[in-house]
Amino acid sequence: MQATPAPITKLIDEFSRLPGIGPKTASRLTFYLLRSSPEQAQSLAEALQELHEKVVFCSRCFHIDERDPCAFCTNENRDRSIICVVEEPLDVLAIERTRDYHGLYHVLHGTIAPTEGIGPEDLKIAELVERVRSSDPKVREIIIATNPNLEGEATAMYISRQFDGSGIKLTRLARGLPVGGDLEYADEITLSRALSGRSEM
């Protein structure tokens, strides 16, 4: 005889698949939802469904939005001669909180990590190169804002090599960011200083 009903076990298993959620947290979330009102559970289910039905990746910068191209790419007030390259959509939100950056973005959706089998071809690097090559007006600066860890540095170096001899200014965020940290956890002041003190690669 099964001690826990199958629907509960299934939901615990699904929560456990999420990053940063272990079996205990998954169990707590499941039993919280079990005690909550049917309306709250239904609201969560609808939000998850809408996430996949209504959110799309921008075909230009690969950020997330409800439309394609996204709000950043279609905003004529953004400086189109500068592109900030980040690892994930959360990094875009972190940089936007500084209110100091007014250019465009390009989201790689990860970093080069050979130990995990992730190479340059698994990221949006080729799309970045093509985007810069065919851009009008021409891109004059690329800010490489990958995280200051081993994978982020390797990705930054690989991207910089793609633009050797292009005449495009390549910069890296200043070291106001802690080594081994993630952009999404940095406060606005630290990110703002990192942006303003970026250095050429």
* Mode of pairing for the β-strands spanning 103-107 and 141-144: unpaired
Amino acid making up residue 43: S
Under the banding of pLDDT at 50, 70 and 90, the label for residue 2 is low
Dmax (CA) of the chain: 70
Q: Given this model, what pLDDT does residue 176 score? A: 66
- Considering the four listed CATH numbers 3.90.960.10, 3.40.1360.10, 3.90.1150.10, 1.10.340.30, the one that applies to the domain covering 76-200 is 3.40.1360.10
Under the banding of pLDDT at 50, 70 and 90, the label for residue 22 is very high
Mean residue pLDDT of the chain comes to 92
3-state DSSP call for residue 172?
A: strand
Dist. CA 79–CA 93, nearest whole Å: 17
- In this structure, what are the phi and psi dihedrals at residue 127, rounded to the nearest 5 degrees? -65, -35
- Cα 146 to Cα 20, 63, 73, distances in angstroms: 21, 15, 20
- pLDDT digits over 76-135, tens only? 999 999 999 999 999 999 999 999 999 999 999 999 999 999 999 999 999 999 999 999
- In this structure, what are the phi and psi dihedrals at residue 114, rounded to the nearest 5 degrees? -55, -35
CATH class of the structural domain 6-54: mainly alpha
Residue among 75, 54, 74 at smallest CA distance from 64: 54
Residue among 190, 55, 79 at smallest CA distance from 143: 79
Q: Given this model, what pLDDT does residue 179 score? A: 66
**Are 6-54 and 76-200 in the same CATH fold?**
no
Q: Enumerate the domain spans of the chain.
A: 6-54, 76-200
